[in-house]
Structure 1
């Protein structure tokens, strides 16, 4: 229903931002990371997600599409609701979360309030499984004929980086282009992901 809101930031409250669009104030539940991008009285743009259910009509807003995509992935995990997803995304960036999922780092997830070890394990298990299925379906290993990245150059680290970027909602073609020119042989995994993300947001 809503793709994004672009207007004046009317209020910045804990886990909530109000965006004034043409005299109408839209209250968006959000993360600490998004709130850090907003200043009251200045222009703000949030990519939105509308959660509608029985007795529920909540609007969520995020400063980047990566954060929105990660939020959608998290609430798709059984037992993880919007409140838990916001808590997770408030303690780390989407790329840090993607790294945690790929590397099985439970501590990054349990650092969020209300996220226990069992939920963290479920998030890692379900999202890793989803990535594996998407990789098989879309050729995310880039061993096909796209030519963007040679098979020889596509190492295990690069595959893990590609999977982490896929967590953020990027397509296999976008990931292949982002990894092109990045030193996947010698850089640490986190730096590969960081450099790839920089290329995609330009």
Structure 2
């Protein structure tokens, strides 16, 4: 329903940002990472997600599209609600989330407040399974080359796998990654790609 809200930031606390648009203040629940990018009184844009429940309507806002997309991916996992999604993205950046899932790093995900080992395991299992299914049906993926060819591509295959966890297909990201130095650390490749995707 809401793609984004733009206006003056009139209030902030530890978990919310209120943006005034046309005389209406929109109370957006958000992450610590987004709050770090905001300053009271500034004109801001938050990319939003509206969560409708039987007893409430909750608006979530993020300073970057990639953070919003990662949030939606996380809450798509069974048993992971908006509160856990915000907690994870308050502790980790989208690229750190992608790396943790792609490398089965459950411990990193449990650094988020209130996120235990079982929830972290479910996030990794469900999203890696989703990735495997999407790759098996992806006709425009990178050519399935030999191990030697993959090695020549450096960290790009790992970055493609990690970005796949966040819902980006190889076709979405391979063109962007092809312009980068394949020797860069995987997390850096992911971060650069997400920034480019956010500008499109």
TM surpasses 0.5: yes
Q: Report the counterpart of residue 125 of structure 1 in structure 2.
A: 125
Q: 1:179 aligns with which of 177, 187, 191?
A: 177
Q: 2:186 aligns with which of 185, 189, 192?
A: 189
Distance in 1 (CA, whole Å) between partners of 2:23 and 2:64 is 24
CA-based RMSD of the aligned residues comes to 2.1
Q: Structure 1 length normalisation: TM-score?
A: 0.88
Judge conservation of contact 2:62–2:68 (CA < 8 Å) in 1. yes
Where do 5+ consecutive residues of structure 1 fail to align?
Answer: 145-150
Structure-2 change in CA distance of 1:168 and 1:65 (3 Å): farther
Distance in 2 (CA, whole Å) between partners of 1:50 and 1:187 is 37
After TM superposition, the structure 1 = structure 2 runs for residues 1-202 of structure 1, keeping only pairs within 5 Å, are 1-139=1-139, 141-143=141-143, 152=149, 155=153, 157-184=155-182, 186-201=183-198
Structure-2 change in CA distance of 1:70 and 1:199 (3 Å): closer
1:74 to partner: Cα distance: 0.7
Q: Structure 2 length normalisation: TM-score?
A: 0.89
1:198 to partner: Cα distance: 4.6
Structure-2 change in CA distance of 1:76 and 1:198 (3 Å): closer
**Alignment: residue pair count:** 195
Secondary structure, aligned partner of 1:138: coil
1:177 to partner: Cα distance: 1.2
Where do 5+ consecutive residues of structure 2 fail to align?
Answer: none
Distance in 2 (CA, whole Å) between partners of 1:199 and 1:47 is 16
Structure-2 change in CA distance of 1:123 and 1:152 (3 Å): same
Secondary structure, aligned partner of 1:78: coil
Structure-2 change in CA distance of 1:163 and 1:139 (3 Å): farther
Structure-2 change in CA distance of 1:69 and 1:201 (3 Å): closer
Secondary structure, aligned partner of 2:175: helix
Judge conservation of contact 2:7–2:21 (CA < 8 Å) in 1. yes
Judge conservation of contact 2:34–2:62 (CA < 8 Å) in 1. yes
Judge conservation of contact 1:95–1:168 (CA < 8 Å) in 2. no
Structure-2 change in CA distance of 1:95 and 1:49 (3 Å): same
Distance in 1 (CA, whole Å) between partners of 2:168 and 2:51 is 23
